Amino acid sequence: MQTRSFNKASFSRRSSSFGSRRPGGRPVRSSRGGFKGQHIDVARFVKKAVITEQVEVFVPEHKFADFNIDSRLKANITRKGYVEPMPIQDKAIPHILRGDDIVGIANTGTGKTAAFLIPLINKVFLNPKENILIVVPTRELAIQIDDELRGFTPGMRMFSVCCVGGASIGYQISNLRRQHNFIIGTPGRIKDLMERRFINLARFNTIVLDEADRMLDMGFIKDMRAMMMAMPKERHTLFFSATISHEIEGLIREFLRNPVRISVKTQDTAKNVDQDIVRVNGSKGKMEVLEELLGQPGFKKVLIFGRTKHGVERLYTTLVARGFKAESIHGDKNHARRQKALKSFKENQIQILIATDVAARGLDIADVSHVINYDLPATYDDYVHRIGRTGRMNKAGKALTFIE
């Protein structure tokens, strides 16, 4: 790598003490109302990508053509270029087709969305009166899943409604009055629509909780319980996450019955993501070091993470003023502006996207060359999800974490 002038590799093995943590991994709230963050050893931010001549190749037990699903769905899968399932798809799809409750544990970027969408689309095909609820922590992930669903269902007359905060609730209410089998949304907006009596979960026998650990971290536990209580006791529950904590285990026991556990996760971070630190010291400040990095060859599509909305916006303003093509997304930006920023980044109209952790979970953005942790993550789980935005689908990626 080309960052040795910034003393990135000269770290010590002692811990970086930027906070504390309760047992179970949750950050500790400080007396000032914020989070101190988790106590993380900086050595955990350094891991060279594994590159070998002999690569272990996953051999699936099935092909998509083998699954007992409708021929039109198979044709749409083929049209999308899918031939052989990824590990989580290969293991989960047969169980979901049989109606088993599932706890799916897989690294981010490994195809979890298709693992539940494909069998659930077939479930609706077999019973057009079936209603399915998919709950996710962020509006961006909900929109992404909704788009993926539409890609699998051309010509099948299946309809969905995406219910997320920040978008027009009137438009969503109008869509809920029309024919639909899928509701995909965030907990707060779904609960709002339940209270307004536009969503009746007594009609829903299937629920997907995706990125459940993030929903717990974001304080959605009461909303999640309210949804589960409103559904029939006899239901089909699918629970997907990249990490499983003590609290999540409690939710699994509470929400699921005799679930099949499927884990294709081999380690916290992908082997093909080259991880290192950039230690900032001496005469150059963080901004100067970042600017030099971004000007180097290879930094083609860069996702930068900051801890606060204001910090992200300041960094965005500074980079644009210095001539970089950049955008930002955070909680203070409205829905339309966040979607516009993501679209520009996905379509390579800009080089840099600066984000808070709202973008760290579940987003599928192709060919991100680098993830830069400009500010330290609050927890190691946040770090795992941040750097999971690069090195997706077994491509090479690089992650750098600034240490002052």
CATH of the domain at 346: 3.40.50.300
Whether 41 and 120 map to the same domain: the answer is: no
Whether 239 and 132 map to the same domain: the answer is: yes
Is 58 within a domain? no
pLDDT tens for residues 19-32?
333 334 444 433 33
Whether 235 and 308 map to the same domain: the answer is: no
Whether 221 and 307 map to the same domain: the answer is: no
CA 177 to chain CA centroid, Å, is 29
pLDDT exceeds 60 at position 266: no
* 397: containing domain: 4-51+272-403
Is 289 within a domain? yes
Whether 297 and 357 map to the same domain: the answer is: yes
Is 165 within a domain? yes
Q: How confident is the model at residue 160 (pLDDT cuts 50, 70, 90)?
A: very high
Q: What is the pLDDT of residue 124?
A: 97
Which of 53-57, 58-62, 220-224, 236-240 reaches the highest mean pLDDT?
236-240
Q: What is the mean pLDDT of the chain?
A: 83
Whether 148 and 286 map to the same domain: the answer is: no
Overall domain count for the chain: 2
Whether 103 and 247 map to the same domain: the answer is: yes
Of the three residues 263, 293, 324, the one that is the final residue of a domain is 263
Of the three residues 232, 263, 294, the one that is the final residue of a domain is 263
Whether 335 and 378 map to the same domain: the answer is: yes
Q: What is the pLDDT of residue 404?
A: 82
pLDDT exceeds 80 at position 361: no
Is 57 within a domain? no
Which of 115-124, 214-223, 250-259 reaches the highest mean pLDDT?
115-124
pLDDT exceeds 60 at position 401: yes
Q: What is the pLDDT of residue 48?
A: 64
pLDDT exceeds 60 at position 2: no
pLDDT tens for residues 41-82?
777 776 765 443 333 456 778 889 899 999 999 999 999 988
Is 56 within a domain? no
Overall pTM > 0.75: no
Whether 250 and 111 map to the same domain: the answer is: yes
Q: What is the pLDDT of residue 397?
A: 87
Whether 184 and 89 map to the same domain: the answer is: yes
Is 59 within a domain? no
Q: What is the pLDDT of residue 7?
A: 45
Question: What is the mean predicted confidence (pLDDT) over 173-194?
Answer: 96
Whether 166 and 47 map to the same domain: the answer is: no
Bridge partners of 302, per DSSP, are 352, 370
Whether 44 and 168 map to the same domain: the answer is: no
The closest of 135, 166, 160 to 338, measured between CA atoms, is: 166
